[in-house]
Amino acid sequence: MAAASIIEELEEVISRGTSDRRVETLRRVTDLFLNDADRYTEAQIELFDDVIMRLSTAMERAVRQQLAERLAPVMSAPKTVIRSLAQDDEIDVARPILMLSAQLDDKTLAGIARTKSQEHMLAIAGRKTIGEKVTDVLVERGDARVALSVASNDGARFSSEGYGALVERAKGDDTLAECIGLRQDIPPYLFRVILATARENVRKRLIASTTAREKVQLAGAIAGVADRIAVGTATSARDLTAIHRAIVVMNNRGELGEAQLKAYAEAGKTDETVCALSVLCGVPLDMVERLFIGERPDPILILARSAGLSWPTLRAVLKTRPGAAGTSAAGLDETRESYDKLTANTALRVLRFWQVRESSAKAS
């Protein structure tokens, strides 16, 4: 048999064969594997894995690159060989494996992204699908090319932390901001951050790319989030100074907490709810007022998560907002899903941005 004949040569080739003979044997073994790759048993594939690994060790770059290009698209390719080629320091060897091989799991890809070059990460960013554990590392360690590539990849999935970090990187980068804004899976609260921080021309292109129904929502988002957090764009007809002062005193006495906030909200005491939310979040009262009156609940989710509020308390708070938009059963289900996905770190990062923006506006 051809397989038996080739296997019998291996020990001699590996121990005493010339470089050219080793390359030729590697080519023949690889050909033998590829000819029936989809028919071999797991045990047979493990045998090929061992043989190809032993033959390819210390081969010159061109040989390893050719091996990688041949094995990368094969679903049943030998796993040890694939992982070795994927971790090769030579990007020309690693690239086809990193981009195409289905044998690499998220743990392996994340490990390579943490330790290898920007070119390795760029190759990973081009995969057909990328899991959250991997994109977290790409966003954290990757350069501008990597960030743009993974943001442009429709098959990439991001954790709440990863998405928040990606949006943070987009500040001042019009190309990245537009790319993120065009993604279909971007959470609404982060989309509004993109709109609030993007340049006018980017904002216009994002609106122009949407359907008519979405344009209405986006127009409201621009008028709502971007304008509400700008100083002076909304003024209160009420003077909440006295209420706010009384709630500050309660807080200093240790009498203010989530339970009291929920009680205010459930009693329909909007002014007290706004003032208590301001104190608990450590956010200026006028800023909470502006965020509170918007059409969408997203900014309140940011405040609530930063303060560590539970969903029942947030739900009660949302129902006290003017008009109580988005408090239908379906609307609340959607909002809760968004809140569950929102992490404290992401909320605090967005909140810090709002505070810096407000301070800068006041200083100017």
pLDDT digits (tens, 9 = 90+) for 317-354: 988 886 655 567 777 888 888 888 888 888 887 777 77
Higher pLDDT, 34 or 192: 34
8 Å CB contact between 348 and 319: no
Q: How many Å apart are CA 258 and CA 264, to the nearest integer?
A: 10
Q: What is the pLDDT of residue 258?
A: 92
Annotate 183-200 with DSSP letters as a single string: -TT--HHHHHHHHHHS-H
Distances from the Cα of 78 to the Cαs of 50, 60, 104, 127, in angstroms?
8, 20, 11, 19
On the question of pLDDT at 1 being above 60, the answer is no
Neighbours of 313 (CB within 10 A): 19
Higher pLDDT, 119 or 232: 119
Q: What is the pLDDT of residue 25?
A: 84
SS3 assignment for 291-355: HHCCCCCHHHHHHHHHCCCCHHHHHHHHCCCHHHCCCCHHHHHHHHHHHHHCCHHHHHHHHHHHH
On the question of pLDDT at 28 being above 80, the answer is yes
8 Å CB contact between 321 and 293: yes
Of 144, 326, 114, whose CA–CA distance to 220 is shortest?
Answer: 326
Confidence of residue 148 (pLDDT cuts 50, 70, 90): very high
Is-above-0.85 flag for pTM?
no
On the question of pLDDT at 267 being above 70, the answer is yes
For 159-169, write each residue's pLDDT tens digit. 888 888 898 89
Distances from the Cα of 212 to the Cαs of 215, 221, 329, in angstroms?
5, 14, 25
Q: What is the pLDDT of residue 348?
A: 82
On the question of pLDDT at 70 being above 90, the answer is yes
8 Å CB contact between 284 and 315: no
Q: Return the percentage of the chain with pLDDT > 70, whole number.
A: 82
Q: What is the pLDDT of residue 214?
A: 55
Q: How many Å apart are CA 8 and CA 15, to the nearest integer?
A: 13
Confidence of residue 281 (pLDDT cuts 50, 70, 90): confident
On the question of pLDDT at 145 being above 90, the answer is yes
Q: Tokens 């029936």 sit at which residue?
A: 36
Confidence of residue 152 (pLDDT cuts 50, 70, 90): very high
| 115: Cβ contacts below 8 Å, ≥ 6 apart | none
On the question of pLDDT at 216 being above 80, the answer is no
What b/e string do you get for 84-111 counting C-beta neighbours within 10 Å, with b at 16 or more?
Answer: bbbbbeebebbbbbbbbbebbeeebbbb
| 39: Cβ contacts below 8 Å, ≥ 6 apart | none
Q: How many Å apart are CA 222 and CA 196, to the nearest integer?
A: 7
Q: How many Å apart are CA 228 and CA 242, to the nearest integer?
A: 23
On the question of pLDDT at 6 being above 90, the answer is no
Neighbours of 66 (CB within 10 A): 17
The mean pLDDT of 218-229, rounded to a whole number, is: 46
* 53-67, 101-115, 201-215: segment of lowest average pLDDT: 201-215
8 Å CB contact between 190 and 139: no
Q: Which two tokens stand for residue 86?
A: 């994927």
Q: How many Å apart are CA 264 and CA 267, to the nearest integer?
A: 5
